[in-house]
């Protein structure tokens, strides 16, 4: 049994795992559960009930940050589907922008040793909570600012991200990061629903001598939502 008496006083940077982290998140903001079914597998995603609740004026003034991380986006569902088709045993993977952790869950389930990164501490905590809730393991997470990228992350066999090309700045930065992060023979999978900066990303890959080895388009339908999600498979040229 967890003693929850003091959890409401925990700061955002408190290091918690397992059930204690789940309880702390439910006290930090209103939460809801969303099931994401991929093929025959269903992941139970704990997430903020309303992303608008997380909007903070100070964050937006600082660098125009908005809590896009707090939803389950179609691109993350399609990327998770792709990741579950892979064999990750013995391979290292990195997620750029883990959000609520769905793609991290898929990659971990596929056998990859995953490091999940995001620019929001809340996103890292939610990802850790969801990995624990669904898989009973502890996710490795790290807060990463793409504009001040750490030098000590190392290289990875797989780097993946979903719906991160919504601004030109990120589209231009991402290929630079991939050059640093991809191990020899490594591959990046970037899922995108046709954001305005996607062509900028493609051009930046060519400039930095990254090869788009394959572009696969998968349909997504859920109720009234109908999208086509592009998955770019990228390696060193």
183: phi then psi, degrees, rounded to nearest 5:
-70, 165
Beta bridge partners of 216: 231
Q: CATH number of the domain at 180, please.
A: 3.40.50.150
> How far from chain centre, in Å, is Cα 5?
32
For the residues 27-32, what does the mean pLDDT come to?
91
> What local confidence, expressed as pLDDT, does residue 55 receive?
61
Q: Count structural domains, the chain.
A: 1
Q: Does residue 103 lie within any of the structural domains? A: yes
CA angle 72-26-122, nearest 5°? Answer: 55
Q: Does residue 141 lie within any of the structural domains? A: yes
Averaged pLDDT of the chain: 89
Residue 121 contacts residue 136 (beta carbons within 8 Å): no
Which of 19-28, 66-75, 154-163 tops mean pLDDT? 154-163
Q: pLDDT, tens digit, for every residue of 81-124?
A: 999 999 999 999 999 999 999 999 999 999 999 999 999 999 99
Cβ neighbours of 30 (radius 10 Å): 10
> What local confidence, expressed as pLDDT, does residue 13 receive?
38
Domain encompassing residue 179? 7-236
Q: Does residue 89 lie within any of the structural domains? A: yes
Tell me what percent of the residues of the chain surpass a pLDDT of 90.
Answer: 79
- Give the residue ranges of DSSP H helices in the chain: 18-28, 57-63, 74-84, 102-109, 121-135, 168-181, 198-207
> What local confidence, expressed as pLDDT, does residue 54 receive?
77
pLDDT over 50 at 5, yes or no: no
Q: Does residue 2 lie within any of the structural domains? A: no
Q: pLDDT, tens digit, for every residue of 193-206?
A: 999 999 999 999 99
Based on DSSP, count helices (H) and strands (E) in the chain, helices before strands. Answer: 7, 9
Which of 1-5, 57-61, 160-164 tops mean pLDDT? 160-164
Q: Does residue 1 lie within any of the structural domains? A: no
pLDDT over 70 at 61, yes or no: no
User: In which element (H, E) is residue 143 found?
Assistant: strand 140-143
Cβ neighbours of 101 (radius 10 Å): 34
How far apart CA 97 and CA 177 sit, in angstroms, is 13
Q: Does residue 79 lie within any of the structural domains? A: yes
pLDDT over 60 at 25, yes or no: yes
Q: Does residue 106 lie within any of the structural domains? A: yes
């Amino acid at each position: 049994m967890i003693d929850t008496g003091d959890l409401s006083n925990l700061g955002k940077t408190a290091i918690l795992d397992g059930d204690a982290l789940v309880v702390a998140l439910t006290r930090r903001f209103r939460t809801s559960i969303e099931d994401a079914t991929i093929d025959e597998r269903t992941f139970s995603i704990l997430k903020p009930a309303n992303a608008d609740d997380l909007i903070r004026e100070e964050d937006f003034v600082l660098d125009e940050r908005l809590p896009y991380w707090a939803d389950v986006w179609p691109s993350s569902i399609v990327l998770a589907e792709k990741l579950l088709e892979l064999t990750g045993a013995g391979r290292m993977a990195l997620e750029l922008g883990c959000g609520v952790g769905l793609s991290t869950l898929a990659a971990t389930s596929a056998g990859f040793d995953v490091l999940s990164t995001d620019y929001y501490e809340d996103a890292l905590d939610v990802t850790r909570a969801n990995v624990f809730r669904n898989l009973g393991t502890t996710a490795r997470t790290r807060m990463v600012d793409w504009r001040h990228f750490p030098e000590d992350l190392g290289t990875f066999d797989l780097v993946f991200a979903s719906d991160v090309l919504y601004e030109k700045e990120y589209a231009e930065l991402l290929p630079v990061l991939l050059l640093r992060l991809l191990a020899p023979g490594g591959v990046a999978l970037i899922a995108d629903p046709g954001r305005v900066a996607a062509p900028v990303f493609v051009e930046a890959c060519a400039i930095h001598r990254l090869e788009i080895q394959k572009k696969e388009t998968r349909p997504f339908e859920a109720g009234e939502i109908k999208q086509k999600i592009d998955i770019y498979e990228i390696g060193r040229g």
